[in-house]
Amino acid sequence: MKIVIVGNGVAGTLAAKGIRELDDRAEIVLFSAEDHLYYPRPNLIELIGGSLPPNRLFAFPERWYADHHIDVRLSSPVVRVHPERREVETAGGRMWAYDSLLLADGASSFVPPVKGAGLPGAFTLRTLDDARRILDYHPSDPRVVILGGGLLGLEIARAVKARGMDVDVIEFFPILLPRQLDPRGADLLKNAIERAGIRVLLGRETEEILGPGEVRGLRLKGGEEIPAGRVVFAAGVRPNIELAREAGIATERGVLVDDFLKTSAPGVFAAGDGVQHRGRTYGIIPASFDQARVAAGNILGRATPYAGTTPANTLKVAGIHLTAVGSNHPRPEGGEELLFEDPERGLYKKVVLQEGRAVGAIWMGTKAGVQGITRAVLAKSDVKKWKDGLLDEGFDFSVI
């Protein structure tokens, strides 16, 4: 069986690994537009922050691919898919036949249509080459502005602050992490970030990146100007759907897949950030992990369904540990919220219950209990008998 995988990110590489673990005879060819082997994208943050040396960036050594008989083709972007012939075409016009194809070409950074976005000194962070461009750029003004107060924006802010740079974070929405936090949790997080020396401006919209010739700052709508030598866009991602769409494969916001991660084309599957499943695109690593595992089984005929992924995000911003999992806001109809906060210690805990089952949580300021509450939410555990003590500092989650 000949299997072609487009994309060597987390979904593509782990799907290849999963296929090989299930079948030691299948022929696997893995195409990458980048000239680098697979690296977990969170490692880029640590690289920028200076806490991870470049030689520890990659998940697997080059020898691993040979040992697992995975033919990885770097700097070989697939430019067309021909489903009717079961072939893909790489740059240069070479055709590669397949029995099954996995589209795992991910997503791309979204750059808002802001005047000056193409100036030297304006960056996105999605690839290793992006990270190197940020680090290799040496403007006369060391100040950095991050456009976006989501997970990526706050992680980048932490990393550049660790390099000793002055950092501003500008967020269009009125709170930080609007997809992960409720207003109270977001307010406490903002206070903690600002105590660490990172300025946060909420409810602001950028009108123009100022030059000329290179980035010298930006102007917000309303006229306020902020000086900076670098601007990093962290305004989200957009699924890469062009390859599928041009091949006649059904797409909407992402590549449409069924519960077995099959696309509308025979023999073509999809996984990762480019996928739209049951109307939802995820853009998070846990979903790519889950989809890679499921896709590997289905490509080999194991008929394994994918039922979706419960969002779970953990990060450390300005020394503050934060975990947001499941549906933690708004409270579901008929649901219940358990709350605890200690602003002086930077603690905020929230658990959302529905019919006594844990369906969402926010855990800020401590790692104690994080694994336990995450497991409980992912399993939708019945916790009503422990409601009175669930948020206690020493609660034993092993009893759930």
> What is the rounded distance in angstroms from the CA atom of residue 98 to the CA atom of residue 307?
27
Give the CA radius of gyration of the chain: 22
CATH 3.40.190.10, applies to 319-399:
no
Give the helix/strand (H/E) hosting 26: none
User: In the prediction, which pLDDT does 397 show?
Assistant: 94
User: In the prediction, which pLDDT does 286 show?
Assistant: 93
User: In the prediction, which pLDDT does 345 show?
Assistant: 86
Fold of 2-37+50-108+237-299: FAD/NAD(P)-binding domain (3.50.50)
Asked if 269 and 100 count as a contact pair (C-beta separation under 8 A), the reply is: yes
Q: Give the predicted TM-score (pTM) of the model.
A: 0.93
Give the helix/strand (H/E) hosting 235: none
User: In the prediction, which pLDDT does 343 show?
Assistant: 86
Matching fold, domains 2-37+50-108+237-299 and 122-233: yes
DSSP letter for 331, please: P
Q: Which two tokens stand for residue 180?
A: 């992960």
Burial tier of 174 (Cβ tally within 10 Å: 0-12, 13-18, 19+):
exposed
Which residues does residue 94 pair with via DSSP β-bridges, in sequence order?
Answer: none
Asked if 317 and 157 count as a contact pair (C-beta separation under 8 A), the reply is: yes
- pLDDT tens track of the chain, all 400 residues? 999 999 999 999 999 999 999 999 999 999 999 999 999 999 999 999 999 999 899 999 999 999 999 999 999 999 999 999 999 999 999 999 999 999 999 999 999 999 999 999 999 999 999 999 999 999 999 999 999 999 999 999 999 999 999 999 999 999 999 889 999 999 999 998 999 899 999 999 999 999 999 999 999 999 999 999 999 999 999 999 999 999 999 999 999 999 999 999 999 999 999 999 999 999 999 999 999 999 999 999 999 999 999 988 888 877 789 999 999 887 778 889 999 999 888 899 999 999 999 999 999 999 999 999 999 999 999 999 999 999 998 899 999 9
Burial tier of 25 (Cβ tally within 10 Å: 0-12, 13-18, 19+):
exposed
Can you state the percent helix, strand and coil of the chain, rounding each to 5?
A: 25, 30, 45
Helix ranges (DSSP H) in 163-308: 183-195, 242-246, 285-299
Alpha carbon of 343 to those of 183, 192, 209, 337, 365: distances in Å? 14, 9, 36, 19, 10
CATH 3.50.50.60, applies to 122-233:
yes
Q: Which two tokens stand for residue 21?
A: 């673990």
DSSP letter for 344, please: G
The residue whose two tokens read 């992912």 is: 378
User: In the prediction, which pLDDT does 361 show?
Assistant: 97
User: In the prediction, which pLDDT does 319 show?
Assistant: 74
Where do the domains of the chain lie?
2-37+50-108+237-299, 122-233, 319-399
Q: Which of 209, 249, 203 is nearest to 233 (CA)?
A: 209
Please give the single-letter amino acid code of residue 286: P
Alpha carbon of 273 to those of 161, 241, 304, 371, 392: distances in Å? 28, 10, 20, 25, 37
